[in-house]
Amino acid sequence: MLPLFINWDVDPVIFSIGSIKLQYYGVCFVLAFILGYKVEEKMFKSEKLPIEWLDKLWIYVAIGTFAGARLGHCFFYDWAYYQHHILEIILPFRFEPHFEFIGYRGLASHGAAVGILITLWYYSRKVSKKPLLWILDRAVVPVALAAFFIRIGNLMNSEIVGKFTDVPWGFIFVRLDETMPRHPAQLYEALWYLLSFWLLTRIYWKTNAKEKQGFIFGAFLLLIFVSRFLIEFLKAPQEEFEVGMPLDMGQLLSIPLIIAGIYFVWRKIREVKKVVNKK
């Protein structure tokens, strides 16, 4: 078979005005929240839940996602740099060697997961008064869709690339000054996250899983982080300290989330079996 290598040479900047740039990544981020809100809105209306809850929920999710993803990247992946540039963690500017608007370069999905958990815990106590697992079962469905858009944004940025490969669909990332094809790991993840979103919506709409608190959340953890763990084997190291590690940082951070997913799914299956046996 003839190689079908793709020369990937997309400019991540759509247009710029001075130092302010509109990038595909930012557009993908916005789309993730707009479409995610619409998905959640349909779910809330079907359960006749107050729309006011939804508006506040999405504010909490937005804060948790961004703050967690940003802090996760800075602490887990690039602390060697950010410990000397603390202001750059929270401000979209670079101060050295000269002042420059750079946006927020570096967001970690594992940090986002932790941030969402913390903010939704607070939301469940202060706004909805519903159990945390009830909130999580409904929030993670659009989060899977958001993950798809974020990985597409990574692809447009030519970042989080895969290892060198000779598979015919390999991408040559021209903007990284490379001539050898790599696995399009961003695309692998994006497509799996889109499939995960579809599966979670089917579980929500076509089964009674939403009545079994924690099951959809557990299924989300397994779908997202088992795939993340496996696809990491095809990725190039993101940071220098990961070179030579048997498991990279993304895999190490995925393990506790996978264990949590197994626990929540197994617990609900066990409860169902007990009910069936009693009958």
Q: Read off the pLDDT of each residue in 90-109 and give the average, rounded to a whole number.
A: 71
**What residues pair up with 235 in beta bridges, in sequence order?**
162
pLDDT of res. 5: 86
Residue among 187, 160, 178 at smallest CA distance from 9: 178
Residue among 61, 159, 62, 66 at smallest CA distance from 111: 66
Residue with token string 């264990």: 259
Q: Read off the pLDDT of each residue in 84-105 and give the average, rounded to a whole number.
A: 73
For residues 24 and 156, is the Cβ–Cβ distance under 8 A? Answer: yes
Residue among 26, 212, 82, 235 at smallest CA distance from 134: 212
User: Could you tell me the residue ranges of all domains in the chain?
Assistant: 6-278
Say how far apart CA 86 and CA 278 lie, in whole Å. 58
Tell me which of 211 and 108 has the higher pLDDT: 211
DSSP secondary structure, 82-130, as one string: HTT-THHHHSSEE-SSS-EE-------HHHHHHHHHHHHHHHIIIII--
pLDDT of res. 85: 78
The fraction of the chain above a pLDDT of 70, given in percent, is: 92
The helix or strand, by DSSP H or E, that contains position 171, with its residue range, turns out to be: strand 171-173
Which DSSP category does 26 fall into?
H
Confidence band for 268, pLDDT divided at 50, 70 and 90: confident
pLDDT tens per residue across span 148-197: 999 999 999 999 999 999 998 999 999 998 889 999 999 999 999 999 99
Confidence band for 274, pLDDT divided at 50, 70 and 90: low
User: What is the pTM for the complete model shown?
Assistant: 0.85
Residue among 143, 77, 83, 141 at smallest CA distance from 108: 77
pLDDT of res. 103: 64
